[in-house]
Amino acid sequence: MRGGDARTSGLAPGSAAPGADDGPVRAAGSDALSSDALETPAPSRGILDPGLVGTEDERETVLRPQRLSEFLGQERIKENLSVFIRAARERGEPLDHVFLLGPPGLGKTTLAGIVSRELGVDFKVTSAPALEKPKDLAGILTTVSERTVFFIDEIHRLKPAIEEMLYIAMEDYELDWIIGQGPSARTVRIPLPPFTLVGATTKAGMVSSPLVSRFGISLRFGFYEPREIILILNRSASILGVELSTGAAELLAASSRGTPRVANRLLRRMRDFAQVFGEGRVTEDVVREGLERLEVDRYGLERHDREILRSVIEKYGGGPVGAETLAISVGESVETLEDYCEPYLIQAGFLQRTPRGRVAAPLAYEHLGYRTGHADERLLF
């Protein structure tokens, strides 16, 4: 989007230049859109899929923390971010651009909203797939107020032309726009008020280096410890008006894959079971019965996860087995297997990737009740 050096001065934000040749500008990031509604759900892998965002989650936005003090877990991120926010607020300057990366369901969208509230500024939300043309981005940026927090979810899916446009906006707080065609074309540079871009991604490796380098603050989210999930569950239970026993919270935390979104979803399902089959109180017995009905085990594995492990052990002798072969065996695409099924199995120690393929780890044999045999030897080669 960088054009020549010619400039047209005197254009204020919101002028008609971005739409001069392309018709009306469509504001892809309307304030009416909620952050939950704009998250792009992954192919459903059941109730424990952290990328699953359903209508109930949209209704339960009350569970989202509104302030940094209410955000539980990710202590190092909170400590550093609170310093940056306070310094920017005291100077009356926009916060530096923030890059949030980590698996889905860990609180990236929630934290972006908290940043805007802590700064006391406007919050605009969109997602990269919604920005189809440069005029979509221009329609948002030319209407932002000073120090606005502009959040782009799944930023790794930005189109190249829009990404190029963001470079100048992030660095110089200006938009380059080309008016006309052929020899009569000229570049219009539109000034923008200083703003803060918050970009979130679940696939940091797919974000280009030039874009990453323009973020002054990078925050990497990790999975939550069981004790942190218990705190989150207790907070959510109090908001929902559900009585949650200590043993029930511990069971749910162990089955939530270290992900608050999954933990809250399981809590709501246990609330349903407690209401219908119990006395409205989520006890340890209710959770055990509920998890059994949902086919979720004590490690947070669903039936589909166990089928993958059984396929590796029974059909391929524990491995190694290639991703394409394994995907066919379980009836999934390779992309779904690698992006949504394998990560937790590998992180939890049930599956290992080797140069020769996937290999079932000893923990998988033990959990599914198989004799390990020479599984330990396989992992050495």
Report the predicted TM-score, pTM, of the whole model to 2 decimal places. Answer: 0.74
Last residue of a domain, one of 294, 315, 334: 294
139, part of any domain: yes
Point out the catalytic residue in the list 45, 49, 57, 109: 109
Half-sphere exposure of 262 (CA within 13 A, CB side): 31
279-312, pLDDT tens digit by residue? 888 999 899 999 989 888 888 888 888 888 888 8
Point out the catalytic residue in the list 49, 153, 176, 305: 153
- Cα 14 from Cα 21, distance rounded (Å): 15
Same domain, 230 and 312: no
CB atoms within 10 A of CB 230: 21
Half-sphere exposure of 252 (CA within 13 A, CB side): 34
349-377, pLDDT tens digit by residue? 888 888 888 888 888 888 888 876 544 44
What is the mean predicted confidence (pLDDT) over 181-201?
84
**Count of domains forming the chain:** 3
Same domain, 310 and 271: no
Same domain, 49 and 195: yes
Q: What is the CA radius of gyration of the chain?
A: 24
Output the DSSP codes for 106-150: SSHHHHHHHHHHHHT--EEEEEGGG--SHHHHHHHHTTPPTT-EE
Quick one: 323 exposed, middle or buried, by C-beta within 10 A (0-12, 13-18, 19+)?
A: middle
133 among known catalytic residues: no
Same domain, 184 and 158: yes
Same domain, 263 and 364: no
End-to-end CA distance of the chain, in Å?
Answer: 50
**pLDDT above 50 (res 234):** yes
**pLDDT above 50 (res 22):** no
- Domain extent at residue 56: 17-220
Point out the catalytic residue in the list 202, 265, 306, 378: 202
Half-sphere exposure of 245 (CA within 13 A, CB side): 15
Find the CATH number of the domain harbouring 273.
1.10.8.60
- The distance of Cα 266 from the centroid of its chain, to the nearest Å, equals 18
261 among known catalytic residues: yes
Point out the catalytic residue in the list 261, 269, 271, 358: 261
10, part of any domain: no
Point out the catalytic residue in the list 108, 147, 257, 306: 108
202 among known catalytic residues: yes
Alpha-carbon distances of 88 from 83, 91, 148, 366, rounded to whole Å = 9, 5, 13, 52
